[in-house]
Chains A and B, each alone.
Chain A
Amino acid sequence: MATKASRSAARIMMAPAVILLLGWMLVPLIMTLWFSFRVYLPLRGGDQGWAGFDNYIRFVTSSAFWPSVQTTLIIVLGVLVITVVFGILIALLLDQPIWGQGVVRILVIAPFFVMPTVSALVWKNMFMDPVNGLFSHLWRFFGAEPVSWLSDASLPSIIMIVSWQWLPFATLILLTAVQSLDSEQLEAAEMDGAPWHKRFWFLVLPHLSRAITIVILIQTIFLLAIFAEIFVTTGGAFGTRTLSYLIFQRVLESQNIGLGSAGGVYAIILANIVAIFLMRIVGKNLD
């Protein structure tokens, strides 16, 4: 159906978006790559020449590197487990006939629309403050010693805050998937006497597997990059320095651009590994 004229028109219409994104991707990427091979300290002498792979080696051998990788993994895995498990449970619950379903849905989804700085600060102060936070009141009520959440249990606290933000996303996507499940199949299994856990394991879970994979991949990409939640709560202290926060500190706080850029290249490679899997699924869906 496409004529030659409409083909060239299509190309022209596509051009602005493609050119802009190409520039947005290539220019900073090439600069980061370039800086990563330089000794570049803007506040202490500027660009001091070629560094070879020194920055790459120094970044991974610095004492802060492995703890930051560990922190990143704990936060990402913790949030993934919590959001996927509770997301499935809440999705299955919301799929049942209940009164006021629409309202409950809105209540569950609401946290996703709260800006990261607000949710982090509300949790930090009004819930996790060791003196005046709601948790400290609750702890005292049960006769326990209040916990200094963000310093003594910093990682669980961050995981809690971030999970609260991302649970709506997981729930909503899994709910969409649950709703497309064939109810006749389930009823048939029920009539054949399959107990609920078998129905869940052999019918519901396989049906959800694609949605679960998508939730995991998309969240991983966003979770690898969480920033504001750490920036306004601990500022990277108390063992909450993730890989991306470490890079941020190297670049903007200690102004060691070469080192930070090498870290940035590692982060880009890491994100791309996850992205490849996501693209495969999304790409299959396009055909």
Chain B
Amino acid sequence: MARSVTPRRKLINTTIAWAIGLLIFFPILWTILTSFKTEAQAIAAPPIFLGFEWTLENYRVVLERSDYARFLWNSIIIAGLSTLIGVAIAVPAAWSMAFVPSKRTKDILLWMLSTKMLPAVGVLYPIYLIFIELGLLDSRAGLVVVLMLINLPIIVWMLYTYFKEIPGEILEAARMDGATLPQELLYVLTPMAIPGIASTMLLNFILAWNEAFWTLNLTAVNAAPLTAFIASYSSPEGLFFAKLSAASTMAIAPILILGWFSQKQLVRGLTFGAVK
């Protein structure tokens, strides 16, 4: 509903919008700035905004002390694999629901969504027990499976809404020309679906990266991802603001950049196509 307004009005709106934007972003900005301070400067009163000597010391300490690489690697593996496996399972399902709908399709979609609503804490112990029995506790494989399952409904839904936008006539034309089902999938559908699949993977990678119930409760040492690494800072020792900031900055930076690309998909993915 954007309309033309007077330059004065635009200036006022711009000022307010930037002020609000910076206010909301400030905690992140402050964290990034603090990560380059010394511990003493980080708690200085009055707080120093920019006039400090920038140092990379905190990053060095965090990287040295905490085996950061292992946590990072766990995050990448868990978020990456759970997304890849989820998409591999969801693409055929979403394809068949979008192009060969039956009268049960809608019920199946809604039922899948309902599994997403199941409160994790309600099934915490069963999952915990199954993990112990199968030796999956504190294993990356176990977390990959769980995160894949909790995000599978969102993946199916997003892919379904993207596939729905591909005109069915094109598939019919391909079929008339004698394309077999695998050919139709590979040469006709896939090229058109790639942007949708990529967006889906992006958003689900972010969701899996930030997941902080199962990753905290099902890991200890070996499989702990960055969420758990940061949580270990909840019992502080001495001065640690600058180190906490450095660790936090490293944990969120990749996702902030990915998130920037996924703004549009966020709406579609998290409202299950109800708002477009």
Contacts and interface: CB of A to CB of B under 8 A. Distances in A.
A167 interface: yes
A63 B107 CA distance: 41
B107 to A, nearest CB: 9
B93 A117 contact: no
A14 B146 CA distance: 20
Given A100-B14, A265-B122, A110 B47 contact: no
B149 A20 contact: yes
A198 interface: no
B269 to A, nearest CB: 11
B273 A285 contact: yes
Among B17, B99, B244, max chain A CB count under 10 A is at: B17
Given A25-B115, A113-B256, A267-B122, A123 B27 contact: yes
B172 A1 contact: yes
A122 B31 contact: yes
B227 A20 contact: no
Interface in A16-33: 16-18, 20-21, 24-25, 27-29, 31-32
Interface residues of A, number: 113
Contact of A183 (B3, B206, B210): B3
B118 A25 contact: yes
A125 B49 CA distance: 17
Contacts of A107: 21-22, 24-25
Given A264-B122, A282-B272, A115 B1 contact: no
Given A17-B89, A231-B231, A251-B124, A98 B10 contact: yes
A126 B125 CA distance: 34
Nearest to B22: A107
A32 B126 contact: yes
B93 A16 contact: yes
A17 B228 CA distance: 29
Among A35, A104, A105, A279, max chain B CB count under 10 A is at: A104
A181 B1 CA distance: 5
A137 B227 contact: no
Interface of B: 1-5, 10, 13-14, 16-18, 20-22, 24-25, 27-28, 30-31, 34, 43, 45-47, 89-90, 92-93, 95-97, 99-102, 106, 108-110, 112-115, 117-130, 149, 152-153, 156, 168, 172, 181, 206, 209-210, 212-213, 216-217, 226-228, 230-231, 233-234, 236, 240-241, 244-245, 248, 251-252, 255-256, 258-260, 263, 266-267, 270-276
Interface of A: 1-2, 6-7, 9-11, 13-14, 16-18, 20-21, 24-25, 27-29, 31-32, 35, 90, 93-101, 103-119, 121-127, 132, 134, 137, 140-141, 164, 167-169, 172-173, 176-179, 181-183, 186-187, 210-211, 214, 218, 221, 224-225, 227-228, 231-233, 244, 247-248, 251-252, 257, 260-261, 264-265, 267-268, 270-272, 274-275, 278-279, 281-283, 285-287
6 contacts: A13-B92, A14-B108, A115-B209, A252-B128, A278-B117, A282-B272
